[in-house]
Amino acid sequence: MEYDQALKEYQEAIQKADEAEKLLKSTADGYKYVVEIHSYGSSWTEYFINEYTADKIYSHYNGENGMSFVFTTNPNNTFYDDSHDEKSPAVTILSEADWLIKFNINLK
């Protein structure tokens, strides 16, 4: 019986975590993020509305799977470079004006 209860609690926790992540991915944090990705001969750009989603892609393609560069208007970002044990040098902070010049878009 303990096993059944533990399994039920585990499945409920997974469901709650999935719902929380879905909400987190769809909630803007007030800053803009672009991640340029270079992986296995391909390059592409992705746009994000919060640091959480941008960091997931940045982290996935920053290392063995390729390399990535982040452009953001968030001066307090927490993108981290594990290989250097410090804030990532692959992150460029842009003002709103520089953002519009570089990307010619206004993400809100």
Q: Judge contact between 27 and 50, C-beta under 8 A.
A: yes
User: What would the mean pLDDT of 78-91 be, rounded to a whole number?
Assistant: 61
Domain contains 36: yes
User: What would the mean pLDDT of 85-90 be, rounded to a whole number?
Assistant: 56
Q: What is the pLDDT of residue 45?
A: 92
Domain contains 63: yes
Domain contains 10: no
Domain contains 57: yes
Domain contains 43: yes
> What domain range is 36 assigned to?
28-103
Residue of higher predicted confidence among 92 and 87? 92
Alpha carbons 105 and 33: distance in angstroms, whole number = 12
Residue of higher predicted confidence among 86 and 1? 1
Domain contains 90: yes
End-to-end CA distance of the chain: 51
Q: What is the pLDDT of residue 5?
A: 94
What's the pTM?
Answer: 0.74
